[in-house]
Structure 1
Amino acid sequence: MDIVVLIGRILFSALFLSSALGHLTQSKVMAQYAAGKGVPMPQLSVLLSGVLLVAGALSVLLGVWADLGSLLLLAFLVPTAVLMHNFWSESDPQARQMEMIQFNKDIALAGAALMLFAFFAHTGDLGLTVTGPLFSIS
């Protein structure tokens, strides 16, 4: 069971770590895109979201307060879905479809992050982690 959970953490975290790399190494391009979407303080927002992604993904991956890391990823995913993938404001059908796909992906990942939070906080000892959970729920 420990190995299965570790593999799941690796696969889940890989997406966020690669996205964080883009946020931190291509911040100017990403900030221009964010500005076009109406995100306030786009350069700062891109950098802060990159840091949030790194912290959350590494926390889940390494098992260092992975419950908190799951919440950090949730805190990234929901606003990103709403601000960056607002398909309801697209008039072009192809652009609307692409934004809807990205919105749904972010919302589904947010659900997975929320489930991970509950899993980590409820189970306690998951094995193959550096720390136990920060939160405890019954």
Structure 2
Amino acid sequence: MDIVALIGRILFVALFLGSGFGHLTQAQAMAGYATSKGVPQAKLAVQASGVLIIVGGLMVLLGLWLDLGALLLVVFLVSTAVLMHPFWKETDAQAKQMEMVQFLKDMGLAGAALLIMALYAGYGADMGVTITGPLF
């Protein structure tokens, strides 16, 4: 099962690593979108969130305090869901549906990250190839 857990971690973090590098290489374009959503200091927020998800993703991928890495991803996902996808503010039905899908995706991924955190805290090194044991 170690290999299955490792493959699961690789598949899980692929999204975050790609997105994180996008946050850093396309910060100006993403900052424009974040500004339109009312995010203060949007460019800095985009860059900081890029670093957050790259660090969290690498920690989960490598099994380096995997529980802390998963928690960093939860912080990113929940804050992104609330700040960037507030479907409850939309009046247009199509826009509302799109924002709801993105909100629920982020919350679902946050739930998966919490599950990874909880499982790793319970099983530790028995949950796949890791560098360290749980921090929490």
Say whether the fold is shared (TM-score over 0.5).
yes
Answer whether contact 2:10 2:61 (CA < 8 A) is retained.
yes
Deviation at 1:58, TM superposition (A): 0.3
Match of 2:77 in 1: 77
Count how many residue pairs are aligned between Structure 1 and Structure 2. 135
Higher helix share: 2
Answer whether contact 2:4 2:128 (CA < 8 A) is retained.
no
Q: Relative contact order (C-alpha < 8 Å, sep 6+): which is higher? A: 2
CA offset digits 1:85-127 (Å, max 9, x no partner): 0011111111111100000000000101111110111112134
User: Following the alignment from structure 1 to structure 2, what is the Cα–Cα distance between the partners of residues 82 and 127?
Assistant: 32
Task: Give the TM-score of the pair, scaled to structure 1.
Answer: 0.96
Match of 2:32 in 1: 32
Runs of 4+ in 1 over 3 A off after TM superposition: none
User: Following the alignment from structure 2 to structure 1, what is the Cα–Cα distance between the partners of residues 22 and 97?
Assistant: 24
Taking only aligned residues, the RMSD between alpha carbons, in angstroms, comes to: 0.7
**Which consecutive unaligned segments of at least 5 residues does structure 2 have?**
none
**Which consecutive unaligned segments of at least 5 residues does structure 1 have?**
none
Match of 2:4 in 1: 4
Task: Give the TM-score of the pair, scaled to structure 2.
Answer: 0.97
